Homo-oligomer: A and B are copies of this chain.
Amino acid sequence: MRDQYYEQLDHIVDELVLITDRVRTAVADATTALLETDLPTAERVIGGESDIEESIDEVEERALVLLATQQPVAGDLRQLVSTLRMVADLQRMSALAVHVSKIARRRMPVSAVPEPVRPLIRDMANVAHSMIGSAARIVSERDLDAAAALEFEDDEMDRLRQELFRVLLEGTWEHGVDTAIDLALLGRYYERMGDHAVNMARRVVYLVTGELPVA
């Protein structure tokens, strides 16, 4: 019985890592849809959300069943509680990838991202993608150094978002209010993906150290 319990705990962590990787792929696909005005890829991200949600619900259910039936303590309890918090982050990141894809789709056949800000949006997307990859590794390997490094990537994301707003607001914007609004929202979506990756990493820190994260 006890062996089965530990198997279940390990299985939950493996599932969390797998779902994080799927969310990362959804984010990469959403960026492709956005920058390459690729409709089939946009549709795939939008259609794929419910599959990811199903997996998330399953992990949540498993964690709740273990909490209810095994009365875990200490580290195991923290693992399960952290799991419940991390699935909420994964759910939001998946929804944000869908938001990006929907902006891409609405603008087609034109790109939602005009030439002057393409490098900036590409950089934000790359940082978000890298941060989610780090989150997966941190969950999988409980790597506290990587968790600390992730905070620096988050600073880089903040810098990029400020730069994007500077460009939108410098008074020489020639691509219309509608495009500026889409870009402001896209900036926010990528920034929030990064925030959720940071949240996941902080949950792992809590898991290992038992200290609640500061933020």
| Tally of chain A residues near chain B (CB < 8 A) | 28
* Interface contact A67-B88, CB-CB below 8 Å: no
Interface residues of A in 43-77 (CB under 8 A from B): 53, 57, 60-61, 64, 67-68, 71, 73-74, 77
Contact of A180 among B77, B165, B180 (CB under 8 A): B180
Is A188 part of the binding interface, using a Cβ–Cβ cutoff of 8 Å? yes
Q: How far is the CB of A173 from chain B (nearest CB, A)?
A: 5
**A212 neighbours in B (Cβ, 8 Å):** 57, 60-61
* Interface contact A178-B169, CB-CB below 8 Å: yes
* Given the contacts A73-B68, A77-B67, A212-B61, A181 and B178 also touching, CB distance less than 8 Å: no
* Interface contact A77-B85, CB-CB below 8 Å: no
Interface-centre pick from A71, A177, A180, A184 (highest chain B CB count, 10 A): A177
Complex CA gap A185/B61 in Å reads 34
* Interface contact A77-B84, CB-CB below 8 Å: no
* Interface contact B74-A68, CB-CB below 8 Å: yes
Is A98 part of the binding interface, using a Cβ–Cβ cutoff of 8 Å? no
* Given the contacts A60-B212, A85-B84, A168 and B185 also touching, CB distance less than 8 Å: no
Complex CA gap A168/B178 in Å reads 8
Is A28 part of the binding interface, using a Cβ–Cβ cutoff of 8 Å? no
Is A13 part of the binding interface, using a Cβ–Cβ cutoff of 8 Å? no
Is A144 part of the binding interface, using a Cβ–Cβ cutoff of 8 Å? no
Q: How far is the CB of A200 from chain B (nearest CB, A)?
A: 12
Complex CA gap A88/B195 in Å reads 13
3 interchain residue pairs of minimum CB distance: A71-B71, A181-B184, A177-B180
